Structure 1
Amino acid sequence: MTATLAVLLRNAAAPAQLAVRRVAPFFLCAMGLSRRALLAAGLAAVVVAAPLASAPVHAMGAPGQPKTGPGGSDYAIAATDIEKKVFGEGNGRALAFFPRGAATKPRPVVVFLHAPGAISPSWYGAWLEHLARRGNVVIYPLYEETIGAVPYDEMTGEALKGVRAALAGIAAMPDVKADVSSLSFLGHSGGAVIAANLAALSGRDELPPARLLFGAMPARGGAEKIYAPPLANLASMPAKTVAIMLVGDRDSVAGDRGARQILTAAGHLGQDHRLIAKAGSDNHGLPAVFYSHHAAVAPNEDWDLAKIPGAAPAATAPAAAGGKPAAGKAAEGAPKLTPQEARQQREEQRKRHAALWRVGYEERRGLAGFEGRTVGAGNYAIWKIFDLAMDTVTAGGDAMTLKRDPRLYDMGLWSDGWPLRRLSVETPKPVVRKDGQEVSQGAR
Structure 2
Amino acid sequence: MNWRINRNKFEMPKMGPWTQRFMLSTVLVAGLFGLSTRKTNGPASPNQPADGPGGANYLHAEVIMRDSASETDGYWLFEPASPKPDSAHVIVFMHGYGALNPMAYGGWIKHLVRKGNIVIYPRFQRDMLLTPTEQFPANAAKGIRDALKALKTGDHVRPINGPLIMLGHSYGAATAAYLAVKYKQYGIPQPKGLLLCAPGTGPMNGAKLDDYRNMPADTKLLIVNSNDDQVVKEKFQRTIFNTAVNTPTRNFLKLYADEYGTPAVKAHHNACYSLDESLDCGLRNPTIYRSYLVGQTNAADYYGYWKWGDALIDCVRAGENCEFAFGNTVEQKSLGTWADGKKIKELEVWLP
Fold shared by both chains (TM-score > 0.5): yes
Q: SS of the residue aligned with 2:340? A: coil
Conserved 8 A contact 1:392-1:402: no
User: Which of the numbers 277, 280, 299 marks the counterpart of 1:301?
Assistant: 277
Q: Which residue of 2 aligns with 1:329?
A: none
Q: Which residue of 2 aligns with 1:19?
A: none
1:419 correspondence with 2:343: yes
Q: Which residue of 2 aligns with 1:138?
A: 119
Structure 1, residues 137-172: CA drift from partner, whole Å, max 9, x if none?
111001123222311111111111111100111123
1:68 correspondence with 2:54: no
Please list, as runs of the form range in 1=range in 2, the aligned pairs for 1:353-364 lying within 5 A after superposition: 353=286
**Partners of 2:115 and 2:340 in 1: CA distance:** 30
**Partners of 2:170 and 2:332 in 1: CA distance:** 22
Q: Which residue of 2 aligns with 1:269?
A: 247
Q: CA deviation at 1:390?
A: 1.8
Conserved 8 A contact 1:84-1:98: yes
**Partners of 2:183 and 2:307 in 1: CA distance:** 25
User: Which of the numbers 111, 125, 128 marks the counterpart of 2:109?
Assistant: 128
1:83 correspondence with 2:64: yes
Q: SS of the residue aligned with 1:193? A: helix
Structure 1, residues 175-233: CA drift from partner, whole Å, max 9, x if none?
623223321111101111111112123356431121101101111x4x31xx4744146
Q: Which moved more, 1:395-404 or 1:107-116?
A: 395-404
Structure 1, residues 273-314: CA drift from partner, whole Å, max 9, x if none?
1110112211222332111111011111121113xxxxxxxx
Mind listing any 5+ residue stretches in structure 1 that lack a counterpart?
1-57, 307-318, 325-352, 358-367, 429-444
Identity of aligned residues (%): 29
Q: Which residue of 2 aligns with 1:193?
A: 174
Q: SS of the residue aligned with 1:90? A: coil
User: Which of the numbers 310, 333, 337 marks the counterpart of 1:387?
Assistant: 310
Q: Which residue of 1 aligns with 2:198?
A: 217
**Partners of 2:71 and 2:255 in 1: CA distance:** 37
Q: CA deviation at 1:399?
A: 7.3
1:240 correspondence with 2:218: yes
Query: In 2 relative to 1, CA 60–159 (structure 1 residues): closer, same or farther, beyond 3 Å?
Result: same
Which structure carries more relative contact order (alpha carbon 8 Å, separation 6+)?
2
Q: SS of the residue aligned with 1:161? A: helix
Q: SS of the residue aligned with 1:95? A: strand
AA aligned to 2:98 is: G
- State the TM-score, normalizing by the size of structure 2: 0.79
- State the TM-score, normalizing by the size of structure 1: 0.63
Conserved 8 A contact 1:88-1:165: no
Mind listing any 5+ residue stretches in structure 2 that lack a counterpart?
1-40
Query: In 2 relative to 1, CA 254–175 (structure 1 residues): closer, same or farther, beyond 3 Å?
Result: closer
Conserved 8 A contact 1:388-1:408: no
Q: SS of the residue aligned with 2:232? A: coil
Query: In 2 relative to 1, CA 90–174 (structure 1 residues): closer, same or farther, beyond 3 Å?
Result: closer
Query: In 2 relative to 1, CA 203–209 (structure 1 residues): closer, same or farther, beyond 3 Å?
Result: farther
**Partners of 1:280 and 1:300 in 2: CA distance:** 24
1:402 correspondence with 2:323: no
Query: In 2 relative to 1, CA 173–207 (structure 1 residues): closer, same or farther, beyond 3 Å?
Result: farther
Q: SS of the residue aligned with 2:54? A: coil
Q: SS of the residue aligned with 1:201? A: helix
User: Which of the numbers 97, 102, 105 marks the counterpart of 2:78?
Assistant: 97
Q: SS of the residue aligned with 2:292? A: coil
Conserved 8 A contact 2:314-2:321: no
Conserved 8 A contact 1:182-1:209: yes
Please list, as runs of the form range in 1=range in 2, the aligned pairs for 1:156-195 lying within 5 A after superposition: 156-172=137-153, 176-195=157-176
Structure (1 or 2) with the larger CA radius of gyration: 1
The structure that is strand-richer by fraction is 2
AA aligned to 1:210 is: P
Structure 1, residues 88-125: CA drift from partner, whole Å, max 9, x if none?
76211011111136426x52211111011111111111
Q: Which residue of 2 aligns with 1:289?
A: 265
**Partners of 2:186 and 2:290 in 1: CA distance:** 40
The structure that is helix-richer by fraction is 1
Conserved 8 A contact 1:87-1:162: no
**Partners of 1:174 and 1:160 in 2: CA distance:** 23
AA aligned to 1:386 is: G
**Partners of 1:181 and 1:287 in 2: CA distance:** 38
After superposition, the CA RMSD in angstroms is: 2.6
Conserved 8 A contact 2:89-2:162: no
